[in-house]
Amino acid sequence: MALLFHQAHANRHEYDSVVPALQKLGLDTLAIDQRSGGGLFGGHNETVAKLGASADYLAALPDLEAALAWARAQHYARIVAVGSSYSSSLVIVLAAKHPQGLSAIASFSPGEYFDDKNQIKQAAARVTLPFYITTDPDEAGDVAEVLRDAHGANVVHYQPKAGVHGASTLVAARDPGGWQANLASFTAFLRGLPARAH
Q: Residue 61 has what pLDDT? A: 98
The CATH number of residue 106's host domain is 3.40.50.1820
Is residue 44 in a domain?
Answer: yes
Q: Residue 197 has what pLDDT? A: 54
d(CA 45, CA 177): 28
Query: Domain limits at 40?
Result: 2-191
Total domains, the chain: 1
Q: Residue 196 has what pLDDT? A: 65
d(CA 57, CA 78): 26
Averages of pLDDT over each 10 residues, the chain, 198 residues:
98 97 98 97 94 97 98 96 99 96 96 97 98 97 97 96 97 97 98 77
Give me the residues paired with residue 29 across strands: 2
Is residue 197 in a domain?
Answer: no
Is residue 196 in a domain?
Answer: no
Is residue 94 in a domain?
Answer: yes
d(CA 90, CA 12): 16
Give me the residues paired with residue 83 across strands: 5, 107
Q: In 10 A of CB 56, how many CB atoms?
A: 12
Is residue 96 in a domain?
Answer: yes
Is residue 198 in a domain?
Answer: no
Is residue 175 in a domain?
Answer: yes
Is residue 115 in a domain?
Answer: yes
What angle do the packed helices 119-126 and 86-97 form, to 10 degrees?
50
